[in-house]
Structure 1
Amino acid sequence: MTKTTNFRGLATVRYHAEELEAARAWYTEVLGVEPYFERPDYVEFRLGDHSQELGISRTPSAPAGVVAYWHVDDVDAVMARLLELGAAPHEPLRDYGPFRAGAVRDPFGNVLGVMFNPHFLDVLAGAGRD
């Protein structure tokens, strides 16, 4: 089944941090990779199976009501590590059928969601493709 839509996939998630250097260092530690793109007020990481982009801008902003959830294979371990590295609890880990998700606030006030999502793994494996 082919799905037609103007929305083709997640391009970039952008977070905000007035202390950009501290945010760069924290996310480098969390993600285990260096940014692939930098300019004075912005850094960007590529991650995951689809090289999706996580950008951090020096622009101050308050978190809004949207949470982007990043698929992780061991959501409990990743959540524990985020909290150990200074993130604050935002949404406790919860089970939604085969899904498990939760969110933290990073040290800069952004909401970072993590989720185990079997549908992500199905798409990655090519299930449901023509």
Structure 2
Amino acid sequence: MLRGFTTVSYHATDLDAAENWYTRLLGIEPYYRVPGSYLEYRLGDYHHELGIINSAHAHHDVTTGPAGQVIYWAVDDLDATLERLRELGATPHAPPTDHGGNGYVTAGVLDPFGNILGVMTNPHYAATLAAIKAGTHFTDEHEA
């Protein structure tokens, strides 16, 4: 039924400032724009889509607390990623949390526009990517 991550959308009241901030963070320009309403980046190993929507189009109040969705982006170095996010003006939201001692560690920040941006080290993601690059079938150890 659910086939995998496709797009995560965040909101921003100042779309131009959000474009500037995310372009600096990601090191790429958005590939798609609807002036004043929406912009979108494709990034990562699977070209996932990160959309930034003008807050005027939000279906809920995004001005009274964190907005957006919590999607965890796989990173190679959690500490270095958090430091880079802080340098760019993100603020801590959820501290690094180890989930079972097997390399699954999550953390979250608030971007300057109030969205929660989740990052994590994820051995399953790394193993899946390695298997795809090697052209082999990957079987999840949790599949039975």
1:58-97, aligned counterparts within 5 Å?
58-60=54-56, 61-62=61-62, 63=66, 66-96=69-99, 97=101
The residue correspondences of 1:21-100 to structure 2 (distance < 5 A) are 21-40=16-35, 41-60=37-56, 61-62=61-62, 63=66, 66-96=69-99, 97=101, 98-100=103-105
Q: TM-score, normalised by structure 2?
A: 0.81
CA distance in 2, matches of 1:94, 1:9: 23
SS in 1 for 2:55: coil
Contact 2:68 2:116 in 1 (8 A): no
Shift of residue 66, structure 1, vs aligned partner: 4.7
Aligned to 1:18: 13
Question: % of aligned pairs identical?
Answer: 53
Aligned partners of 1:71 and 1:65: how far apart in 2? 18
Runs of 4+ in structure 1 off by over 6 angstroms are none
Unaligned runs of 5+ in 1: 1-5
User: CA-atom RMSD, angstroms?
Assistant: 1.6
- Offset, 1:59: 2.4
- Greater CA radius of gyration, 1 or 2? 2
Q: How many equivalent pairs are there?
A: 124
| Distance in 2 between residues matched to 1:59 and 1:105, nearest whole Å | 16
Distance 1:101 1:79 in 2: 11
Higher relative contact order (CA 8 A, sep 6+): 1
Residues 79 and 22 (structure 1), Cα distance of their counterparts in 2 relative to 1, 3 Å cut: same
